Amino acid sequence: MRVLLWPNEWRYLLSVIVKQAIHHDILSLARDLAREAVGIAASYLGKAATSFKADCSVVTEADHAIQTYIIEQVAKRFPDHAFIGEESMASSPGQVDPRTTQYTWVVDPIDGTRNYVAGFPSYATSIGVLEYFKPVVGVIHEHLLNRSYTAVKGGGAKRDGQPISVVTPPPGTDLLLAGPSSKNRPTTTILQKIITMQGLIYRNVGSSAIHLAMVADGCCAGAFAHRCKLWDIAAGLLIVEEAGGVVTSLTGEPLVPFDLTANLQADIPFVAGNPRDHNRLLDITRPMFA
């Protein structure tokens, strides 16, 4: 039986195919750039000049070198795309305005810079690409283990090209929950609840991007952070959702579409996990903000 499509249906189908091709083209470049960041970081390891930003977070020459390289390569391949990076929050003169363009690259050149400086083997490059303020491509490349976590909107999540998914441990199993090192009041209060509750085991590798990747890969049942920025989660949020997980605010509200007209230094607190344990984490975090 032959199925006939109306002209509008053909146009829609063609637009979907074209968009998928664009997203995969973006993914290919983002994946390559995240892998190339490993070599740049390694070339500065142990000798990168270090300084502190206004929020007391650490930044190194390696962060700037990686971000500059990614900006240059994206501009060559996609000159009409905008760029937001942890080390340059506002667009420079001549750059595309992320508030008005279709695609915006959101990059954390080294998530886990304190680990990088100290030689602690846990840090990653995170690249998320937004289409009209919603993540459509995500790449998190963990440098030392050489693992790439990727996702395209509607295409599932992968680790090194193999499909991954969140895992819901059987009832009665201890749950690994990943969280930050921040010492602000909301974080310490949440941590106190987690470490005193039977069956919950706390883990922290010093990178929110890696925490989100581990949730997507089923290593952790959930993760949270209170002091977290757009570039920390733009890639990981999509990877978790494409792996079958859930990511919301600490009160359960959706985080996307992101508001690129707001202060990009503002925190974007999140809770992530498989659907069951995401709700369990919300039971801990939500009452603090009710």
Which residues carry out catalysis? 86, 108, 110-111, 113, 232
Nearest-angstrom CA–CA distance, 106 and 90: 12
DSSP assignment of the chain equals -PPP--HHHHHHHHHHHHHHHHHHHHHHHHHHHHHHHHHHHHHHTTT--EEE-TTS-EEEHHHHHHHHHHHHHHHHH-TT-EEEETTB-SPPTTSPPTTTSSEEEEEEEEETHHHHHHT-S--EEEEEEEETTEEEEEEEEETTTTEEEEEETTS-EEETTEEE----PPTT--EEEE-----SHHHHHHHHHHHHSTTEEEE--S-HHHHHHHHHTTS-SEEEESS--HHHHHHHHHHHHHTT-EEE-TTS----S--TTS-TTS---EEEE-HHHHHHHHHHHGGGG-
Q: How far apart are CA 106 and CA 176, in angstroms?
A: 28
Peptide bond into 257 cis (omega under 30): yes
Structure tokens at 75: 């501009």
Report yes or no: 151 and 237 within 8 Å, Cβ to Cβ.
Answer: no
In this structure, the chain runs to a length of 290
